[in-house]
Structure 1
């Protein structure tokens, strides 16, 4: 990483070139400034800071607008998308500039009329003025949050109505009420249990991060499973086109990946995880499948303790000195 020191409103910070956001047209009121970085501070999050790297006195408090106005949404022209190098909605980060009066912070406002749009791919940014009469440059944050609470309360009631369509199932963890939308269907079963099709991922606070894949057709059958990245930080593989189509996957966020563990009774040092045959579950159609990876570095029994130690060493080498970024 090519780090360079910059003097900013919050002190001297080191910034890598790939963290710098370029506002080629500047920001209204600061048209002469082009280079900025977004700083995330634990003590002020979710409020972040847009810091100028050319004028150490310029810093703007920013926030994700949906945290203030839950129904905030807009579309920007294709011209803007092309300028910033945005191909789909996931390529864009959206922020709103806040105004926080020093004497009366309770009167803080947020500019929802002119959001900052930043491309995650090119690190180019622009402030775009929306043609929406319902949005202004000074929304009182306290008022907007109250409105958002009412909207969320209404949505929660609707979700509650939908979730009432539940059925009771006997499982290894006792009787559980499960909605149809929570059932995962393995149409091909799981090797060794091909006759079982309906499963459920059970979250247990007592065993987390280990979770449980429970059969809803045979209460005696359950598998301890885990997110493989919690065991092997660099675990990765690609799905075939057939699997992508079968699971109706359009983007990485559409799937959940689990791997099955083997937990010897009374021998925690020899817990293993099967990285050779992960479970791939679609969030889109709730279908699941166990696939066999051709990658020779993955096999059926990785020692969990050894993998976590290896991952810790990788993370120590990669750990940045300061937490920054949009």
Structure 2
């Protein structure tokens, strides 16, 4: 498959159908975006930030990272419904990611020099089955490592 990325200077990327991550329920506010491709800068270094690029609406892209990059560790339990949606099997690899955003200044302008992590709504990805959900946490159990 090929996809043109309007948010990245109309760059075109090729990828295989089996690398698509499916969000069966979409994402809050983006319910029609169900298929995503995980991208990262290929600069020879271990990627720290990834882009969750919508295939259904190419102008939609989210920055995500492994919580450990922010020195965070979650203690998360999936409900039966969430595990079912993810098709969790005995030997599946499940990982968590957090979305990143630029907060707004008091003026309403985007603060490009600051980054906020959406810690109350991590993304759970079944790497094995390529399925994902965004999990809403009321009181997240987070550990911060110094």
| Residue in 2 that maps onto 1:240 | 79
| Whole-Å separation in 2 of the counterparts to 1:201 and 1:256 | 13
CA distance change for structure 1 residues 186 and 201 in 2, over 3 Å: closer, same or farther?
A: same
Per-residue CA distance 1:164-203 (angstroms, 9 max, x = gap): xxx1111233211111110111121111111111111102
CA distance change for structure 1 residues 276 and 251 in 2, over 3 Å: closer, same or farther?
A: farther
Aligned length: 135
Q: Report matched runs for 1:184-223 at 5 Å.
A: 184-205=21-42, 208-223=47-62
CA positional deviation for 1:231: 1.1
| Whole-Å separation in 2 of the counterparts to 1:267 and 1:285 | 35
Whether 1:275 aligns to 2:112 is no
Unaligned runs of 5+ in 1: 1-166, 299-306, 313-326
Given that 2:92 and 2:128 are in contact with CA atoms closer than 8 Å, whether structure 1 keeps it comes out as: no
Return the index of the structure with the highest Cα Rg: 1
TM-score, scaled relative to structure 1: 0.38
Per-residue CA distance 1:200-223 (angstroms, 9 max, x = gap): 110214693011000112221100
Q: State the superposition RMSD in angstroms.
A: 2.5
CA distance change for structure 1 residues 256 and 234 in 2, over 3 Å: closer, same or farther?
A: closer
Per-residue CA distance 1:112-133 (angstroms, 9 max, x = gap): xxxxxxxxxxxxxxxxxxxxxx
Higher relative contact order, chain-length normalized (CA < 8 Å, sep 6+) = 2
CA positional deviation for 1:252: 7.4
Instruction: List, as ranges, runs of 4+ consecutive aligned residues in structure 1 with deviation greater than 6 Å.
Output: none
Whether 1:229 aligns to 2:63 is no
| Residue in 1 that maps onto 2:107 | none
Per-residue CA distance 1:215-270 (angstroms, 9 max, x = gap): 112221100000112213332211112222322223575212211111255543x3
| Whole-Å separation in 2 of the counterparts to 1:233 and 1:215 | 26
| Residue in 2 that maps onto 1:182 | 19
CA positional deviation for 1:272: 0.8
- Which residue, out of 245, 251, 256, partners 2:95? 256
Whether 1:168 aligns to 2:2 is yes
Higher strand share: 2
| Whole-Å separation in 1 of the counterparts to 2:56 and 2:92 | 29
| Whole-Å separation in 1 of the counterparts to 2:51 and 2:139 | 26
Per-residue CA distance 1:34-53 (angstroms, 9 max, x = gap): xxxxxxxxxxxxxxxxxxxx
TM-score, scaled relative to structure 2: 0.79
Unaligned runs of 5+ in 2: 104-109
